Amino acid sequence: MEYSGLILVSVFFFLLLLNVPISFSIGVATVVTMLCSIDLLPAATTIAQRLAGGINSFALLAIPFFVLSGLIMGQGGIAKRLIECAMALIGMLPGGLALVNVMSCTLFGAISGSAVAATSAIGSFMIPQMEKKGYDKNFAAALTGAAATTGMLIPPSNILIIYAIASGGVSIAALFVAGYLPGILVALSLMIVCAGYAKLKGYPTEARLPINLVLEKIVAALPSLLLIIIVIGGIIGGIFTATEAGAIAVIYSLVLSVVVYKEVKISELSGILLKAGETTAIVMLLIGASSAMSWILSYENIPQTISDFLLALSDNPLAILLIINLTLLVVGAFMDMTPAVLIFTPIFLPVATHLGMSPLHFGIMIVLNLSIGLCSPPVGSVLFVSCAVAKTTIEKIIKPLMPLYIAMFCVLMLVTYVPAISEFLPSVFGLIK
């Protein structure tokens, strides 16, 4: 149908404006568009098949495991130990508390696999501490939200698994390894902004700890950090798959939180399991609905139409990639990462590969791009959490957020136009040729 794309987009955004949950907005928009091209019975059958087929993947079993391990470790005293370790290592530098915030959010986001969890766990401690030391509360809230997004790139990351499915077979192991350098670059860029901000405002540094206390804090945090090493090392070494790594992460986090740290009681596990089930159900519904939408996009040849349009705009690959990035930045400000990856990967990936970009490189670019969307007003989910923790409003944190946003955008441009940033480590470990 000639106007199917317009119908799909119009219905989808109309439902979003009515505050209909995004998974239902995707599903209803897909049904309406299908009914404009296909009879009712085949349309209903196709949607049912795509909903079921979209989540019928062994690799997706990793998601509930990593969600569960993240929730267990989120309540297992991990945040406190990571903050103390970061404080011991970099607290004495200019803007020490701000740097500690970034480092703690990065580490906790990577371990938990959730930017929202990192914002809540780290922000609830660091934002009051920063305010107590004279930091502007709105800056502290903006920094926590921005820094928490780095965990989306540093594995284990559920969104990288979802991209691997959406892209049609990019190696999860390669994506996991590829996310390290971009994630670290984002964290470093935020630290540079923090150091400059602290110098400008004259914020104090923290006292340097004796070497024995530094070592003590590192040792205390080491068991938590070992989760990343065990998971990634096992996947790269071919010892287990990403799904098996998720199961191992659950066992490790249980032992660490219940037996070693003793921060989680056996009686609390039922609540954690219920929360993990709810989160997994939401993610899987999004994946199923987005798979159906991706099918109708393909059926109506919409990705090819958009690809031809973009390639006709300019002969310059740099300009086309900039247009894709700006489009995704706008999308990320209004849409959750999971449906955005599932919907826009089949649209933009063919364009990127036509321009010579590898699917691995594009995957890191789109995840970094949409991670910035998590801390972008008006819908950025981590901003709401950060504002709630800091007891402030989104309007008040936009100004201090802008330098951080610019720093993240600069890293996005580097990642987009310098493929080696994403592909160097996977090539070193022999995950790409």
Residue-wise pLDDT for 219-265, tens only, equals 988 988 888 888 888 888 888 888 898 899 899 989 988 988 888 89
Residue 285 pLDDT exceeds 80: yes
Reduced to 3 states, what is the DSSP secondary structure of residue 378?
coil
Length of the chain: 433
Residue 1 pLDDT exceeds 70: no
Residue-wise pLDDT for 351-396, tens only, equals 999 999 999 999 999 999 999 988 887 777 788 889 888 989 888 9
pLDDT for res 362? 97
Residue-wise pLDDT for 311-356, tens only, equals 888 889 999 999 999 999 988 888 888 888 988 998 999 999 999 9
- pTM over 0.85, yes/no: yes
Give the integer Cα–Cα distance in Å for 110 and 423.
Answer: 20
Nearest to 382 by CA among 113, 190, 142: 142
Give the integer Cα–Cα distance in Å for 27 and 44.
Answer: 11
Residue 380 CB partners (closer than 8 Å, separation 6+): 145, 333, 373, 374
Residue-wise pLDDT for 45-66, tens only, equals 888 888 888 888 888 888 899 8
Residue 199 pLDDT exceeds 90: no
Residue 30 pLDDT exceeds 60: yes
Nearest to 426 by CA among 236, 253, 242: 236
Tokens matching residue 143:
């920094």
pLDDT for res 2? 54
Give the integer Cα–Cα distance in Å for 386 and 120.
Answer: 7
As a whole-number percent, the residues of the chain with pLDDT over 70 amount to: 99
